[in-house]
Amino acid sequence: MSLRDCIERLEKAGDLVRIRREVDRRFELAAVAKKLDGGPAVIFENVRGASMPVILGTDGTKERVAQNLGVKPAQLSDCLSRGIGEPVPWKKVTDGPVRARRVQAPFEIDALLPVPHHYEKEPAPFITGGIVVARDPDSGVLNASYNRMQLKGGTRCGMYMLLRHLHQIYEKNLARGRPTEVAVVLGMDTAVRLAAAPGGANIPLELDEFAIAGGLRGRPLEMVNCETVDLLVPADAEIVLEGRLLPGVMEDEGPMAEFTGVYGNDAPKHVFEASGIMMRESPLYQDVLPFAAEHLLMLGLPYEGVLYRYVRAMVPGLHDVHITPGGCGKFVAVLSLTKRDDGDAKNAILGAFGAIRDIKIVIVVDPDIDIGNPREVEFALATRVQGDRDIILIPGAKGNDLDPIRDVYGYITKIGIDAT
Nearer to Mn ion, 201 or 292 (CB): 201
Task: With contacts defined by CB under 5 A, name the span among 56-64, 94-102, 158-166, 321-329 that binds Mn ion.
Answer: 158-166
77 touches Mn ion by CB under 5 A: no
Give min distance, CB of 132 to Mn ion, in A: 10
Q: Which is nearer to Mn ion, 139 or 373 (CB)?
A: 139
Q: Which stretch binds Mn ion (CB under 5 A): 50-58, 147-155, 157-165, 318-326?
A: 157-165
Judged by beta carbon, residue 58 or residue 147, the one nearer Mn ion is 147
Nearer to Mn ion, 143 or 400 (CB): 143
The distance of closest approach from Cβ of residue 138 to Mn ion in the complex, given in angstroms and rounded to an integer, is 13
Q: For Mn ion, give the closer residue by CB, 162 or 246.
A: 162
CA 406/CA 240 separation, integer angstroms? 35
Nearer residue to Mn ion within complex by CB, 168 or 413 = 168
Does 143 engage in binding with Mn ion (CB under 5 A)? yes
Q: Please state the closest distance from residue 179 (CB atom) to Mn ion, in A.
A: 20
d(CA 336, CA 167): 34
Element (H, E) at 350: helix 344-355
Contact between 157 and 209 under an 8 Å Cβ cutoff? The reply is: no
Q: Which is nearer to Mn ion, 104 or 139 (CB)?
A: 139
What is the rounded distance in angstroms from the CA atom of residue 253 to the CA atom of residue 147?
Answer: 13
Distance of CA 172 to the CA centre of its chain: 24
The footprint of Mn ion on this chain (CB under 5 A) covers a number of residues equal to 2
| Shortest Å distance, C-beta 139 to Mn ion | 11
Question: What SS3 state is found at 91?
Answer: strand
Residue whose CB is less far from Mn ion, 143 or 150 = 143
Residues 301-330, interacting with Mn ion (CB under 5 A)? none
371 within 8 A of 308, measured Cβ to Cβ: no
Choose one: 12-20, 76-84, 127-135, 139-147; the region binding Mn ion (CB under 5 A): 139-147
Decide if 15 contacts 42 (C-beta within 8 A): no
Q: How far is the CB of 129 from Mn ion (least distance, A)?
A: 18
Q: Degrees (nearest 5) of the Cα angle 327, 120, 20?
A: 95
Question: Does the protein bind Mn ion through residue 156 (CB under 5 A)?
Answer: no
Strand 239-253 relative to strand 267-279, pairing: antiparallel
Please state whether beta strands 332-337 and 54-56 pair in parallel, antiparallel, or not at all (unpaired): unpaired
Vertex 260: Cα angle to 259 and 264 (nearest 5): 90
**Contact stretch for Mn ion (CB under 5 A) within 141-149, 222-230, 253-261, 352-360:** 141-149
- Cα–Cα distance measured from residue 41 to residue 23, given in angstroms and rounded to the nearest whole number: 16
Nearest Cα residue to 232 out of 343, 143, 147, 323: 143
Least distance in angstroms from the C-beta of 205 to Mn ion: 5
Give me the torsion for CA of 281, 2, 98, 229, rounded to 10°.
160
Choice between 55 and 134, CB closer to Mn ion:
134
Site for Mn ion in 251-280 (CB under 5 A): none
Report in angstroms how near the CB of residue 355 gets to Mn ion at its nearest: 15
Taking the complex as a whole, the smallest distance from the CB of residue 202 to Mn ion amounts, in Å, to 11
Q: Measured from the CB of residue 312, what is the shortest distance to Mn ion in angstroms?
A: 22
Helical pair 62-69 and 76-85, crossing angle rounded to 10 deg? 50
User: Closer CB to Mn ion, residue 245 or residue 363?
Assistant: 245
Q: Smallest distance from the beta carbon of 196 to Mn ion, in angstroms?
A: 8
Question: Which window, 11-19, 135-143, 194-202, 229-237, contacts Mn ion (CB under 5 A)?
Answer: 135-143
Least distance in angstroms from the C-beta of 165 to Mn ion: 4
Tell me the C-alpha distance between 53 and 286, whole Å.
9
Q: How far is residue 68's CA from residue 217's CA, in Å, rounded to a whole number?
A: 10
Using the contact rule CB under 5 A, the part of the chain among 136-144, 320-328, 365-373, 404-412 near Mn ion is 136-144
Residue showing the smallest CB distance to Mn ion in the complex:
165
* Closer CB to Mn ion, 169 or 377, in the complex: 169
Binding mask 161-200 for Mn ion (x = CB under 5 A): ----x-----------------------------------
Q: Which of 20, 25, 18 minimizes the C-alpha distance to 50?
A: 25
Transcribe 16-50 into DSSP letters. Answer: EEEE-S-B-TBTHHHHHHHHTTTS-EEEE--BTT-
Q: Do the beta carbons of residue 18 and residue 45 sit within 8 Å?
A: yes
**Positions that interact with Mn ion (CB under 5 A):** 143, 165
